[in-house]
Structure 1
Amino acid sequence: MNILMVSASGNFFGGEKVLLNLSEYFRSLDHNVEIIVPFEGEFTLEITKRNFKYHIIPIKNSFSIKAFYPFYRLVKDNNFDLIHSHGYVPNQISRIISQITDKPVVCLLHVIQDYNWENLGMKSFYYKILDRMTNALTSKIINVAVSKPVSNSAKYLKAEIIYNGVSNPDQSYDYPEKIKVFAMVGRIVNIKGIDTVLKAMKKLKDHDIKLLLYGDDITPKKKWKNKYIKYINENDLNVEMMGYIKDPQEIYSRFDVLIHASKEGHEGCPLVLIEAMIRKKLVIYSRINASKSVMKKNGIPFSTDDVTDLTDKIKEILTWEKTKIKNKIQADFDYANKRFSLNKFFKKHENIVKRLYAKKNIL
């Protein structure tokens, strides 16, 4: 089978990790897999390293008008059997191309809450209308987490929930005697709640703790990173910018607790939460819908954007002894290892692709 994967970004974020994992799996089943990417970036470097063929089509630029014809020609000229799309805008365009070329399309939604349209101005009107018009054209919609909007629309959207999967590195871990090092992992931007965490660190200056910030700022002139560096320096905080590091082991071996402080409306199924539990780290997270759907009753939640509540939760775990730390980490690990199996994730996607391909060929 010839499968065309469609990415929303040339940067290497959580959604791109999922896409690449699926691509590797489909290729292991002897399918030919190629990938559409909107622009060159860390993701295309990783694609090249793993010997996948990719095509630059600017699906996220200029309202994707420039993407229609090259996308159409790519599918027709290369006789792809199925389109597997990731993200709002790629999904919309992929649905239309699916109808024109008579190829089944699977649309994966990484952000399943109501999207924050208010900052998009007139663009929001365009995206909303196009999304509604093309929903009925989808062969299958896959959501990576549970939300009320998804549950309500599951019947007419042909939707299915398949939780993101994370591989278990199956390594031995040394549980910390005391909690000392915290970390945030992701983009250095305001929607990740970094301002809330830095303010909490300011309140905790008299404690012997450190915060590591992993990730990079892709905004023009790195406006958020520069803002945070200025705040860190002005308040003499024990915070270190680690930059973008690709190797998970190198990241997770350096801290005790992950802080995930994202604001509402910008997450789907945060992979970093699952990765942290699988790698036996404590997790403190903001009570946004996406994180709650992943964590259930696990981890340590705090009220979103609430500096005082976050500070109190950090103070609480600083008092924990090794036994309590170990028990909490093990309970969270057992939950994540059972619920977010990478093998289950792969098998469910494989079955969907097989059914769509068989149905198309029978017809």
Structure 2
Amino acid sequence: MKLLQALFFPPEQPGGVSSMIPYLQERFNPPHWEMELFSIPKRIRSKGSDAVEFQTFDWHQYEASPVVQKYVQTYRDYLWWTRLRLKTTFDLIHAHHPIAGLAMKEVFPDTPVIQSIHSSYERELILNGRIQENGLEHQFLTSIYKELEHRTDRLLTVSHSFKEYLRPYVLNYDQIDVIPNGFDEKRFKPIPHENEVAQLVTVCRLVPAKGIDTLLEACARLKERGLAYVLHIIGDGPIREELEQRAQQLGVYSETIFYGYTLHPEEFMPFFDVFVLPSRAEAFGSVFAEAALCSLALVGSDIGGISEQIANGTTGLLVPPDDADQLADALEKVIVDPAYRYELARNGSDHAKNHYSLNRVVHELKKIYLQYKG
């Protein structure tokens, strides 16, 4: 069976999709399976010029928005690149971004296209202050879900909470399948270590949606309580300078290390003790599974896919988003009690191995793919 995994970003880019899809290839071996990966290079800009029409709504009512114009142009560019680069046919295409799915169905109308929806672009834009809830952009981006449902052959998503999020925007919510992301355990090598001072780490893009401002406020509370720690922030983004200034204002800059972007944080994540990320929204939160497989204790927001990964008090700790006091309380528990921290880390690692292994994802995907075998 000849398969195409259609990504948006190149597979070396950070994120949940890129942490899983490239590792699928070695599990879909010839002669029974052939798998290719496809994505659009970042340098492709304003190449496409096709007229764009959607079948379930008129996008022109939203075209006054620059965000909508950019999205549609990106769709044109993806179409242009697909037609330029793909000259062969496939038995099945699995798309991992809405633009990829719509473009593939446009270019290969007779090929089954399975669409995985990994996150909510509109929710991220709202939380990051880029668009207004219920504004033109929000209406356009949520209309895309029904278009995907109408044009592709099957919808998948990564968590039950995100499936519930999609309910208002599709006609057949009950037909969406949930397959959480999977991870190749060989990439993660826990290392026994004893840190005299608790080492906290977070890995994310530095945008408001990730709640790093709340984390810095919680760390200020920890310092006020006389607790020793170091916070490692791995990632970059548009609010990095703002966060560095906030750390200075809160008096925690000397306890905080800003690393910037790192391609493979899992290579040195095992040397830390606690992974913490107080996101304001998260469809799945792949980095939590990755941190668990590195045997770190988990602390996260009680929202979205994070809540499905963490059983509070057993495989990690959950706190309300935007609550620096409760986040500080949770961090204090794992800082002052190493035995409890190790217990959470061990339970979290076992849970991740049992529920988020790449082998499980491969098994579930093969069952779905074979339903479309000619």
- The answer for the alignment partner of 1:31 in structure 2 is 34
CA distance in 2 between partners of 1:96 and 1:60 (Å)? 16
**Normalising by structure 1, what TM-score?**
0.80
- The answer for the alignment partner of 1:52 in structure 2 is none
- The answer for the alignment partner of 2:324 in structure 1 is 307
Residue 105 (str. 1) matches residue 109 (str. 2): no
Residue 201 (str. 1) matches residue 219 (str. 2): yes
List gaps (5 residues or longer) in structure 1: 42-58, 218-222
CA distance in 2 between partners of 1:157 and 1:271 (Å)? 24
- The answer for the alignment partner of 1:71 in structure 2 is 82
- The answer for the alignment partner of 1:46 in structure 2 is none
CA distance in 2 between partners of 1:208 and 1:106 (Å)? 49
- Residue 98 of structure 1 and its aligned partner are, at CA, apart by 4.3
Deviates more, 1:267-276 or 1:243-252: 243-252
Distance 1:128 1:96, change over 3 A: farther
Distance 1:232 1:27, change over 3 A: farther
Residue 87 (str. 1) matches residue 102 (str. 2): no
Residue by residue over 1:283-310, the C-alpha shift from the partner in whole angstroms, topping out at 9 and shown as x without a partner, is 0001112211222443101110101111
- The answer for the alignment partner of 2:351 in structure 1 is 335
CA distance in 1 between partners of 2:190 and 2:15 (Å)? 27
Matches within 5 A, 1:29-178: 30-39=33-42, 62-72=73-83, 74-75=85-86, 77-99=87-109, 102-111=110-119, 115=123, 119=131, 121-147=135-161, 148-149=164-165, 155=172, 158-169=175-186, 171=189, 173-174=191-192, 176=194
Residue 4 (str. 1) matches residue 4 (str. 2): yes
- Asked if structure 2 preserves the Cα contact closer than 8 Å seen for 1:213 and 1:239, the reply is yes
Corresponding letter in the other structure for 1:167: D
Distance 1:151 1:166, change over 3 A: farther
SS at match of 2:371: helix
Residue by residue over 1:92-115, the C-alpha shift from the partner in whole angstroms, topping out at 9 and shown as x without a partner, is 33344443xx01101111126984
Residue by residue over 1:111-137, the C-alpha shift from the partner in whole angstroms, topping out at 9 and shown as x without a partner, is 269845751643333333343234122
- The answer for the alignment partner of 1:186 in structure 2 is 204
CA distance in 2 between partners of 1:114 and 1:69 (Å)? 24
- Asked if structure 2 preserves the Cα contact closer than 8 Å seen for 1:175 and 1:325, the reply is no
Residue 225 (str. 1) matches residue 240 (str. 2): yes
Matches within 5 A, 1:346-361: 346-356=362-372, 358=373, 361=374
Corresponding letter in the other structure for 1:133: E
CA distance in 1 between partners of 2:114 and 2:252 (Å)? 49
- Residue 89 of structure 1 and its aligned partner are, at CA, apart by 3.1
- Residue 30 of structure 1 and its aligned partner are, at CA, apart by 4.9
- Residue 209 of structure 1 and its aligned partner are, at CA, apart by 0.6
CA distance in 2 between partners of 1:164 and 1:334 (Å)? 16
- Residue 354 of structure 1 and its aligned partner are, at CA, apart by 2.5
SS at match of 2:116: strand
- The answer for the alignment partner of 2:50 in structure 1 is none
- Asked if structure 2 preserves the Cα contact closer than 8 Å seen for 1:4 and 1:80, the reply is yes
Residue 294 (str. 1) matches residue 294 (str. 2): no
Distance 1:138 1:70, change over 3 A: same
- Asked if structure 2 preserves the Cα contact closer than 8 Å seen for 1:178 and 1:318, the reply is no
Residue by residue over 1:134-183, the C-alpha shift from the partner in whole angstroms, topping out at 9 and shown as x without a partner, is 41222222211112245796956742111211232474642647661101
CA distance in 2 between partners of 1:310 and 1:344 (Å)? 33
Corresponding letter in the other structure for 1:111: S
Distance 1:132 1:36, change over 3 A: same
- The answer for the alignment partner of 2:230 in structure 1 is 210
One of 297, 302, 309 as aligned partner of 1:282? 297
Identity of aligned residues (%): 20
Distance 1:129 1:303, change over 3 A: closer
Distance 1:96 1:325, change over 3 A: same
SS at match of 1:16: coil
Corresponding letter in the other structure for 1:292: S
SS at match of 1:283: strand
CA distance in 2 between partners of 1:6 and 1:112 (Å)? 18
Deviates more, 1:106-115 or 1:85-94: 106-115
List gaps (5 residues or longer) in structure 2: 45-69
CA distance in 2 between partners of 1:83 and 1:132 (Å)? 19
- Residue 71 of structure 1 and its aligned partner are, at CA, apart by 2.7
CA distance in 1 between partners of 2:124 and 2:148 (Å)? 20
- Give the count of matched residue pairs: 330
SS at match of 2:366: helix
- Asked if structure 2 preserves the Cα contact closer than 8 Å seen for 1:179 and 1:257, the reply is no
- The answer for the alignment partner of 2:65 in structure 1 is none
CA distance in 1 between partners of 2:285 and 2:114 (Å)? 21
**Normalising by structure 2, what TM-score?**
0.78
SS at match of 1:210: strand
Corresponding letter in the other structure for 2:262: I
